[in-house]
Amino acid sequence: MRATGAGGPNPLVKFASQLWGSIFRHGLPSTDKVAARTALTNFFLHIHPVRVKKSAIRVSYTLCLGGLSFFLFILLTISGLFLMFYYIPSVDQAYQNIKDLQFVETFGLVTRNLHRWAAHGMVITVWLHMARVFYQGSYKPPREFNWAIGSILLVVTLLLSFSGYLLPWDQLAVWAITVGTNMAKYAPIAGPYTRYVMLGGRTVGQGALIRFYVLHVVALPLIGFILMVIHFWRVRKDGFTGGL
Amino acid sequence: MATVVGNGGGSPNRPNGGGRATVPNRRGVTGPELATPPLVVRRREEEETVVTFPSLVFREFLAAMGITGFLMLVSTWVNAPLLQRANTAITPNPAKAPWYFLGLQELLERFPPVMAGVAFPTFVIVGMILTPYLDKNPSRRPQDRKVAISLMTVYIMLAVAFVVIGVFFRGVAFTWQWDRVLGHPGVNPGT
Ligand code: HEM
């Protein structure tokens, strides 16, 4: 909303207009050309191509699933950030922190719920996204490598969810992780060591909590984010498969 | 709106995303040829395109708002579970993995641990990564992909079935029980 016409000497209007123009190089697109320029010069929009095939953006084609996975990732990052303000990864405090989030902190309950349900949701959308890519044969050349990156993203998504599961430090958390990490034990030779490294000990205790915490809030989101950037870059470069 | 060539003032943004119309993606075409697809050879009348902004961006926005609203609603009404404080002395029965790993836990019930815990998952993950390299069929039409589609469908159905069994039908000591579904009392609420 440029202050068009209001060319009066009002310095406030002038400043507002300069400020707006310095951030957004273009107004709302009136022609295709302006629309193209908008997309090209806006950081958040430039991950998109300027034009897309009409068939490729039919909702029935992508079902929005890749995009929704990414959006849930952002939602999880934001809600997770708020949870981090209150959560201390210590076996003595973690459980009480979660209780406080539920019963004391303003909006603590809904933030925690949101984080939890979005996490489950992301596991589902990533899975469905994988299924849609498969059924449409979108993994075929030249997109083989992007499928491989996607596969790793699926694993990262599962690990993110799994590592978060332990953090509330309630009976559900600790025993689910006990069962989950017991599975790693069965690998020949490496198994018991793998489990020991995952847990930082033989049982699920403080060592496991801090490891899972660091993985959950730093390592895995970072890995996931980098992989997503590559994933999107390749979607751009390889082009969208488009309708059948 | 068919002429889109030259859009963007020589920027590397390919208006059309590139694709099948130009370089026939046949097996055996590798490396550099794939890396430089459409810029040069592109038929003028390809598929109809629309500008990303606002057409696509608007849809993305709607989808994002939709799912945010939905999750907010769910989060207002359904609370995330929180049981008693962790106590390593008391093992809940049944002890279950998170739902997306219940398929694995189900396999562990049925197969020797080395197979269920190690061999199967490794096979699935490696198999998934290698899928595009193993599937040499160039066609994307469902009619031509009967085997691939059948295999995937069987896999998905098994995976979903195992998760459903794990969540709803596995009771004390992870044995099969109808209680949860049929609503009999006396079952330990595991998850
Ligand atoms: C965190 C997880 C993931 C995110 C955020 C993500 C995001 C996206 C997005 C936004 C697209 C654009 C098209 C669409 O919206 O469907 C896309 C395309 C694609 N994804 Fe993913 N993805 C993820 C996981 C996966 C997985 C698990 C696979 C497969 C194993 C995969 C394989 C692909 C392929 C091959 C394409 C290109 C499809 C085409 O050109 O039609 N991705 N992804």
> Residue A240 and residue B95: Cβ atoms within 8 Å?
no
Q: Is A225 in the pocket of ligand 1 (CB under 6 A)?
A: no
Q: Which chain B residue lies closest to A57 (C-alpha atoms)?
A: B56
CA angle B43, B47, B52 (to 5 degrees): 115
Any bridge partners for residue B49, and if so which? Answer: A53
| Cβ neighbours of residue A219 closer than 8 Å, sequence gap 6 or more | none
Distance from CA of residue A219 to its chain's centroid? 13
Over 80: is that where the pLDDT of A79 sits? yes
Which A-chain residues 160-199 have CB contacts (< 8 A) with chain B? Answer: 161-162, 165, 168-176, 178-180, 183-188, 191
Q: A50 pLDDT exceeds 50?
A: yes
The closest of A181, A132, A128 to A154, measured between CA atoms, is: A128
Q: What DSSP letter does each residue of chain A carry, written as one string? A: ----S--SS-HHHHHHHHHHHHH-SS-S-SSHHHHHHHHHH-TTTTTS-SEEEGGGG-HHHHTTHHHHHHHHHHHHHHHHHHHHHH----TTTHHHHHHHHHHTSTTHHHHHHHHHHHHHHHHHHHHHHHHHHHHTTTTSTT-HHHHHHHHHHHHHHHHHHHHHHHTT-BHHHHHHHHHHHHHHTTSTTHHHHHHHHHHTSSSSSHHHHHHHHHIIIIIHHHHHHHHHHHHHHHHHHH------
Using the Cβ of A71 and the Cβ atoms of chain B, whether some distance falls under 8 Å is answered with yes
From chain A, the residues in CB contact with B65 under 8 A are none
Contact yes or no for A75 and B15 at CB 8 A? no
Dist CA A95 CA A104 (whole Å):
13
pTM of full prediction above 0.90: no
pLDDT at A5 over 60: no
Taking one residue from A and the other from B, the number of pairs with CB-CB distance under 8 angstroms is: 264
Distant-in-sequence, close-in-space partners of B95: CB < 8 Å, separation ≥ 6: A175, A176, A178, A179, B190
Which of A31, A48, A183 is the best residue to mutate to test the B interface, defined by the most B CB atoms within 10 Å of its own CB? A183
- Nearest-atom index, ligand 1, CA of A134: 29
The phi and psi torsions of A240 (rounded to 5 degrees) equal -85, 140
Cα B143 to chain centroid distance, Å, stands at 22
What was the pLDDT predicted at B93?
Answer: 82
Residue in B29, B52, B90 nearest the CB of A48: B52
Write out pLDDT tens, residues A107-124: 999 999 999 999 999 999
B95/A176 touch (CB, cutoff 8 Å), yes or no: yes
Q: Tell me the CA distances in angstroms from A207 to A164, A202, B55, one per residue in order.
A: 15, 9, 50
**Cα within 13 Å of Cα(B145), Cβ side:** 20
Is ligand 1 within 6 A of the CB of residue A126? yes
Dump pLDDT digits (tens) for B19-29: 444 444 444 44
Beta-strand ranges (E) seen in chain B are 49-51
Our answer on whether the CB atom of A204 is closer than 6 Å to any ligand 1 atom is no
pLDDT exceeding 70 applies to what percent of chain B?
64
Residue with more model confidence, B77 or B174:
B77
CA of A128 to the centre of ligand 1 (A): 10
Contact A184 B191 (CB under 8 A): no
Q: What is the dihedral of CA A32, A38, A41, A45, to 10 degrees?
A: -110
Distance of CA B29 to the CA centre of its chain: 28
Give A188-212 pLDDT, tens digit per residue.
788 888 899 999 988 899 999 999 9
A13, pLDDT greater than 70: yes
Q: Is the CB of A125 inside a 6 Å radius of any atom of ligand 1?
A: no
Residue A52, φ and ψ in degrees, nearest 5: -130, 155
Q: Judging by DSSP bridges, how do beta strands A51-53 and B49-51 pair with one another?
A: antiparallel
Q: Are the beta carbons of A179 and B96 separated by less than 8 Å?
A: yes
Separation CA A205–CA B105 (nearest Å):
22
Taking an 8 Å cut-off on Cβ atoms, the answer to whether B16 and A51 are in contact is yes
Tens digit of each residue's pLDDT (9 = 90 or more) over B49-87: 676 666 677 888 888 999 999 999 999 999 999 999 998
CA A35 to CA A42: how far, in whole Å? 11
Of all protein residues, the one whose alpha carbon is nearest to atom 8 of ligand 1 is A66
